[in-house]
Amino acid sequence: MRSLRLYATFSRARSLKDKGPVLTLEQFLQKQRVLGFWREIMREVHKIPPSSTRQEMREFARTEFERNRHLKDLDHIRYLVATGKTQLDSMRRYVEQIAR
């Protein structure tokens, strides 16, 4: 019976370690905002008719997200999201002009 408890404790501790660092609430919320922003970008990109422009926009967004993937400073992440939203608005206007 003891070995079973020890195994269960060891297994639980090991699984938490394998999942990476535990996020604070603020980090978790910011991560969710960033993921939501990524989805918003992808929805807008898919509104562009299939072309090289569509592919370039997707690659640009992916490159920017990958480049900043390991940032930990929440203020800097907030700044990048705000800047990205401004760029997304510009892209929306561009797509609307193409559609006309």
Q: What would the pLDDT profile of 1-16 be if each residue is shown by its tens digit?
A: 556 565 655 555 556 5
pLDDT of residue 10: 57
Mean pLDDT of the chain: 86
pTM attached to this predicted model: 0.76
CB 45 within 8 A of CB 58: yes
Residue 41 binned pLDDT confidence (cut-offs 50, 70, 90)? very high
- pLDDT at 17 (0 to 100): 63
Over residues 11-40, the pLDDT tens digits come to 555 565 677 789 899 999 999 999 999 999
